[in-house]
Amino acid sequence: MSRVVVTGRVPEAAIEKLRAEHEVDAWQGPESIGREELLRRVAGADAVVSLLTERIDAELLDAAGPQLKVVANVAVGYDNIDVPACTERGIVAANTPGVLTDATADIAFGLILMATRRLGEGERLIRSGKAWKWGMFFLLGSSLQGKTLGVVGMGGIGQATAHRAKAFGMEIVYQSRSEIDPGIAAELGARRVELDELLAVSDVVSLHCPYGPATHHLIGAGQLAAMKSSAYLVNTARGPIVDEGALASALREGQIVGAGLDVFENEPSVHPGLLELDNVVLVPHLGSATVETRTAMAMLAADNALAVLSGERPPAPIN
């Protein structure tokens, strides 16, 4: 029997699955586990099932001890994990790709609709109690049909967002490290371009790339200036891919028309410049937040941990 530490609350089915084979120490507090408590609890763990709010770095791996075999993140993004530090210590790192693809693409498209159709502004107006009435020029937004979606990072979530956009009558361009399946590209009518061209031609730019040193502030003042003044930016990937200060300035100065953000540079803080603006939709990191998806993520993370503990390759390894 091994010792599994779960760093935050996850759906019970995953805890039961782990508990059927191992001793499980799952943090149950209403708040995130604090760093000190986390370092104390991981001592002697054979597996750590981590949430994206916890930093899994060399200090934590060393606090766990040399018996630690696997870190299973309950997220597809793994910028909270120092993967090279895991690899150096022979620890397997794993994530949860696939199971949250549709949920996240739904939120990306929800933000696209909210931003382009000004739904947040309308909702705030009604709730404010201010007078309003239907008018020919009242809260006009932009139509999506015939417009171009630029997808930055054409992995599973980027492709799922592109499929939704296609169904809404949009054209697709994408920028990606690798070419996608030619059949899917043909079905979507999607054209691969460099980021410069994508920014210049897109009416909506949606970010779906992983976060890391190569994508830190990928969208900054220069890139925002390169976008159409009628364009929108949507981020459901990771906050620091966008320079939030530069985005607030671009939105304030009308360099782009609107934005929708599910993720933030210093979560859970939001840049004060963004909070003042009406032309940005702000939602609190809800990409994978459905009962079904969170359950599937936790089960996949449990499967990753269980596989490694029984000496097998996990279903979704990172290293």
In the chain, beta strands by DSSP E:
3-6, 23-26, 47-50, 70-73, 92-94, 148-152, 171-175, 191-192, 204-207, 232-235, 258-261, 280-282
Site mask, ligand GLV, residues 185-224, x = CB under 6 A?
A: ----------------------------------------
* H or E element that contains 166: helix 156-167
Q: Which of 21, 121, 197, 267 is catalytic?
A: 267
71 in contact with ligand GLV (CB under 6 A): no
Do residues 239 and 210 lie in contact, with contact meaning Cβ atoms separated by under 8 Å? no
Minimum distance from residue 288 beta carbon to ligand GLV (Å): 5
Site mask, ligand GLV, residues 252-291, x = CB under 6 A?
A: -----------------------------------xx---
The answer to whether 208 is a known catalytic residue is no
Minimum distance from residue 115 beta carbon to ligand GLV (Å): 20
Strand pairing partners for 70? Answer: 47, 92
Residue at 98: amino acid letter? G
Site mask, ligand GLV, residues 90-129, x = CB under 6 A?
A: ----------x-----------------------------
318 in contact with ligand GLV (CB under 6 A): no
Q: Which of 238, 244, 271, 294 is catalytic?
A: 238
* Distance between CA atoms of residues 66 and 46, nearest Å: 9
The answer to whether 285 is a known catalytic residue is yes
Q: What is the DSSP letter of 239?
A: G
121-126 long-range contacts, Cβ below 8 Å, gap at least 24? 121/278, 121/279, 124/278
- Residues serving a catalytic function are 238, 267, 285
